[in-house]
Structure 1
């Protein structure tokens, strides 16, 4: 039972089975979400309303942000309080997966923008039922000396999901609905494998705290006590995600409207960019987590990775040519790989209270979710005001501020 979820002090060796389960589990939700958010959803919006597509992408992102803000916090808190023979986390992950797959099929059918928007909104509820509980497994089960390495596995899963999905999605730009069905199938298969690998003990016998009075408020409130470093890490993550997703959320339109590429060339470029991002992120993610454990440093790798992403985003500003997006992909892949490998270990290190791990990590993940959503909103506003070129320096400045926030953390080296 070394791979089973337990108190971190009981972990005697590196839980390889659990680490692989988290990697696959992360791909199971991150891949379909990224494939839809970055490529297939903008493509479908462009098909239904090509004139207003830029504003609509920003509108979808803004509404999704509002829903995710509450869903991540509430579902994470409820996961902490779940008592079942299947554990605290698995019921939420499985339920969220079922809901997400159902919403994907409705998305493929949606014939109008309003129906598409309602479905995308409901999908945010199902998605966040997966995210916060899955990350909390690291806090539940992993001894601090292995958290960098296990976080690296999770980060590699995020890289594969975020960037590998672009390779897949790019093949379905002219067959969007089929692409959505493919992602639904991928999510089901990978979730089944992940749930088989992740062994979670029953939580049925754990004490229940009544949801009333101050306990009710504490269960759903943002942490306050000893939370200064927590919020610095949260802001750093949020700003890094906003910057990154300013480009990711509008990548399709950057290639077609800013760089004036044809649909066939755009399809090839999306696949190449995604492949570069994925390979570089996996390589540097695999190295960064174990290295962080070895040198005993978490803050510096995350800060440097954020700075690398800022530098990467400047290249398309200087030249509206495809080669600049390839350079961006290389540098951003390196930065994202290193960032995602160490980020979750840093998040856990700044938790104010281990007893509310999923709720507080839900708040932390909320910053990532909001950043992913706020990125396209910010980019859409910049494009509307000043065109595509200005989004790149704005993105760089946002990431640099995020880097400064990370470096201000005090209790983590």
Structure 2
């Protein structure tokens, strides 16, 4: 267990195993709530509701939902930094967001039309990103600098583990689509509530959370790249990497159906196998990379190599013509993704502006680099598919180019090595 440090004006104490374990489980739950619909259930639901217009419908739902996610991330982060409550400043956002995620997913699962499904998905994005705003702020709040690489590596595992657990639940409950939707967020609520019970949380006084004029509050979301160039480059790298990842997560079901020619009934099983195969590699790469980055005091080289490996894997997926070759390329993606997510969060925390006063808000701004690609990818995917004559391999080749650019973007960072 650790003691709050930022509010005391000193470095936090070492994080113990109980804290780390519950923290990782809470992050797994949050990612499971978002990723399971993105990867499996949402495309399948849209395929049933609007089979003749599935691509455009999915792009609409993902695009609008991503805008909501982006706004929710920064606004909830800012509000979390300023929250004064008997339960602390992070806890209400964690638990409230998890509850909202369950409600939103239930709406999506039962929606008879794309319009109502869109409403439910926006509620999911709003709620879960509010929970993530509180969860991610715990890293700078409660973890000392010398442990951030290691714990960032543990947290980096949460995304692939959440993906595997979510897809496992989906394929285990298939073909009961409502159950496939609802099981992951219910489990997430329990995990996040457990972490909220054991984690320390600063309770600021009203004097520490003064009211602000609206214009000043809005301006706070702009971080001048000239004042924080390292943060800007880290933001650009994450944006480009996540743009490549967004194409893979959002369109792999359609890639399997239309390019690999897999039957719709086989898609959940194939996606689960790919997630299971890559997850072990993600976990190893995330843990080893995070620990090595602490020991060697290096961040940039790990992040750049990871993004480059991920680019190669996307090009490999684009070139695949069978389930077997698809799975091999997905394994390489697991290495790149694990190494990137295991070290990148530590790098960002090291270059975060105003860490003691605006950690959650600035992390919310950084999280826009993860949310914005969910808007950009579906917006530009139709154009790429048009140029590629409907070939999803062309879409994944373009995704690889974005990930490669993400590797280059991290190189100008100067504050950390």
Same fold per superposition (TM over 0.5): yes
Q: Given the two structures, how large is their TM-score scaled by the length of structure 2?
A: 0.93
Cα deviation digits, residues 226-248 of structure 1 (max 9, x gap): 21111111111011011012111
> Does residue 1:385 correspond to 2:398, yes or no?
no
Which stretches of structure 1, 4 residues or longer, exceed 6 Å deviation after superposition?
none
Distance 1:33 1:213 in 2: 31
Distance 1:322 1:409 in 2: 39
Q: Is the 8 A contact 1:3 1:16 kept in 2?
A: no
Counterpart for residue 145 of structure 1: 146
Distance 1:393 1:246 in 2: 10
What's the secondary structure of 2:231's corresponding residue?
helix
What's the secondary structure of 1:250's corresponding residue?
helix
**1:21-36 equivalence runs, <5 A:** 21-36=22-37
Counterpart for residue 343 of structure 1: 344
Counterpart for residue 93 of structure 1: 94
Counterpart for residue 237 of structure 2: 236
Q: CA deviation at 1:379?
A: 3.4
> Does residue 1:361 correspond to 2:360, yes or no?
no
Q: Given the two structures, how large is their TM-score scaled by the length of structure 1?
A: 0.94
What's the secondary structure of 1:83's corresponding residue?
coil
Q: CA deviation at 1:377?
A: 3.8
Counterpart for residue 125 of structure 2: 124
Cα deviation digits, residues 169-212 of structure 1 (max 9, x gap): 23445221111121132122211222223222422466222212
Counterpart for residue 48 of structure 2: 47
**1:267-286 equivalence runs, <5 A:** 267-286=268-287
Q: CA deviation at 1:373?
A: 4.2
Counterparts in 2 of 1:176 and 1:5: CA distance versus 1, 3 Å? farther
**1:151-190 equivalence runs, <5 A:** 151-190=152-191
Q: CA deviation at 1:335?
A: 0.8
Structure 2 unaligned residues grouped into runs of 5+: none
Counterparts in 2 of 1:292 and 1:86: CA distance versus 1, 3 Å? same
**1:294-373 equivalence runs, <5 A:** 294-354=295-355, 355-373=357-375
Cα deviation digits, residues 143-193 of structure 1 (max 9, x gap): 111110111121111221134322332344522111112113212221122
Counterpart for residue 71 of structure 1: 72
Q: Is the 8 A contact 2:33 2:101 kept in 1?
A: no
Q: CA deviation at 1:400?
A: 0.8
Distance 1:380 1:9 in 2: 50
Q: CA deviation at 1:50?
A: 0.6
Distance 1:154 1:373 in 2: 24
Q: CA deviation at 1:213?
A: 6.4
Structure 1 unaligned residues grouped into runs of 5+: none
Q: Is the 8 A contact 1:83 1:206 kept in 2?
A: no
Q: Is the 8 A contact 1:305 1:335 kept in 2?
A: yes
Q: Is the 8 A contact 1:383 1:391 kept in 2?
A: yes
Q: Is the 8 A contact 2:170 2:268 kept in 1?
A: no
Distance 1:256 1:213 in 2: 49
Counterparts in 2 of 1:359 and 1:385: CA distance versus 1, 3 Å? same
Q: CA deviation at 1:278?
A: 1.3
Distance 2:138 2:247 in 1: 30
Q: Is the 8 A contact 2:160 2:275 kept in 1?
A: no
Counterparts in 2 of 1:196 and 1:37: CA distance versus 1, 3 Å? same
Counterparts in 2 of 1:171 and 1:199: CA distance versus 1, 3 Å? same
